[in-house]
Amino acid sequence: MRPAPVPLKRTRAGRSVHQAPPLVNKFIAIVVLVVVALRIDIDRGVTVGAVVCVALFPVWFPILRQYWGARLLLVGGLVAIGSGIWLTVLSAPTHQASLGQAFGSIAGLVGLIAGVGFVLWARTVLPDSQIAIWYGAGILLGVSPSSELYAANPWRFGYSVALTILLLGITLQLHRRWLELAVALVLTVVATLTDARSAFAFMLLTVLLVAWQMRPTRPTRGKSALRALLGLGVLGLIVFNVIQALILDGALGEATQQRTLAQLNETGSLILGGRPELAATIALMQHQPWGFGVGTVPNPVDILAAKTGMAAINYEPNNGYVDNYMFGGHIELHSVIGDFWAAFGIPGLTLALIILVLIVRSIGVHVAANTASAVLLYLGIKAVWFMFFGPFFSSSVLLVLVLGLLITRRVPTERDAALQRPGPLRPTMAQRRR
């Protein structure tokens, strides 16, 4: 299936300009965005949205050339899948393998790449604000009130992400910076009242960056993305320390204060205390640097190595979370980087780093140009956190939107413009070879 060609009209000067995209393309984009965000499961990690995006490969593949790093992402994904299968075969003499887990890991990565490709195509027919709105609506429709976590905290484990994307997308559509700032401030306050430490940090950082871009500026040539990223890093450290101090003073509630104190007393670090899986990941990387492969089941030696690493930070690893969630017939390291390394080896780790670079670079470019909207900042900050501290399975639905919206567009070339022209204006084969 190919997108309908964009019709051209002639100006008085005889130049060709693009008319608005056909309604059918917009309709396809909206429906598929909602379906992808709904995450309707078919079997073993395969979703309806992923199947649709793979089927629409001929639609979005030609668009990849227009975006910085998009084709590298696709190639990196294919290489990682091949590496994951090879590692599974290599591990067979010492490890059991689950075909269902292997299929799920591969399907998850294919769904991510195809989803990102489709969102990149959707950006050619819809503005970023509408993509965020429809995707946020899809996540909202997919919220399940049946889980135990939802019952404990409906905002934090149900509506927080969906409504944040939806509301900030609406403010982007209205083109009002002050409204973006106001909505982000309200969401920051809500996070403080709902025992959501990470959400509070994401929103506070978003608020500060939106406010920073509202300052009066002079047009200059020397706006550097690298300088913006260095500033973001410093700001992130300041925000982290300020939030930790606020939590310990009880500003976010007694429950959050007690949980944070327990983690600090246990490991000496809020990060390690809240995410001891990081210690397990480092220990496993030292134990088996090349990774394990898709569907590979950890053996007792692997589990002992991981638990030893966790015990080194004074975390008690002999519990149901470690035995069942992390290593119960599979390897789950609660980070995209860790999960990619375990399943796909060094190429998987490289792919995760490519994704991280694409996200961070895009944030730097937008902030340096004062074009970073609140929704893009929120998504980018949250995605960076997920790369280190979020499992791939639950992070993938957000990564599709993050990468699809944040990857920066290349400057169009004359060849790209020619390829988009219908009929006799399309380039000849000789032109294509250039």
Residue-range domain boundaries for the chain? 23-153+254-406
What is the pLDDT at residue 255?
A: 67
What is the pLDDT at residue 394?
A: 86
DSSP one-letter string for 261-297: HHHHHHHS-HHHHH-THHHHHHHHHHH-TT---TTBP
What is the pLDDT at residue 369?
A: 85
What is the pLDDT at residue 271?
A: 63
Please give the Cα distance from 324 to 302 (Å, whole number): 14
In the chain, pLDDT over 90 holds for what percent of residues?
58
Please give the Cα distance from 332 to 324 (Å, whole number): 10
Question: What does pLDDT average to over the chain?
Answer: 84
What is the pLDDT at residue 81?
A: 97
What is the pLDDT at residue 2?
A: 44
What is the pLDDT at residue 246?
A: 67
Q: Reply yes or no on whether the pLDDT at 240 is more than 80.
A: no
pLDDT digits (tens, 9 = 90+) for 337-385: 999 999 999 999 999 999 999 999 899 888 888 889 999 999 999 999 9
What is the pLDDT at residue 252?
A: 65
Cα 58 to Cα 28, 117, 423, distances in angstroms: 14, 10, 18
User: For 256-270, what is the mean pLDDT?
Assistant: 65
Q: Reply yes or no on whether the pLDDT at 133 is more than 50.
A: yes
pLDDT digits (tens, 9 = 90+) for 275-309: 889 999 999 999 999 999 999 999 999 999 999 99
pTM score: 0.84
Q: What is the phi/psi pair of residue 146, to 5°?
A: -90, -10
pLDDT digits (tens, 9 = 90+) for 21-78: 789 999 999 999 999 999 999 987 889 999 999 999 999 999 999 999 999 999 999 9
Q: Reply yes or no on whether the pLDDT at 237 is more than 50.
A: yes
Question: What is the Rg, in whole angstroms, of the alpha carbon atoms belonging to the chain?
Answer: 23
pLDDT band at 8 (very low <50, low <70, confident <90, very high): very low
pLDDT band at 17 (very low <50, low <70, confident <90, very high): very low
Please give the Cα distance from 338 to 285 (Å, whole number): 9
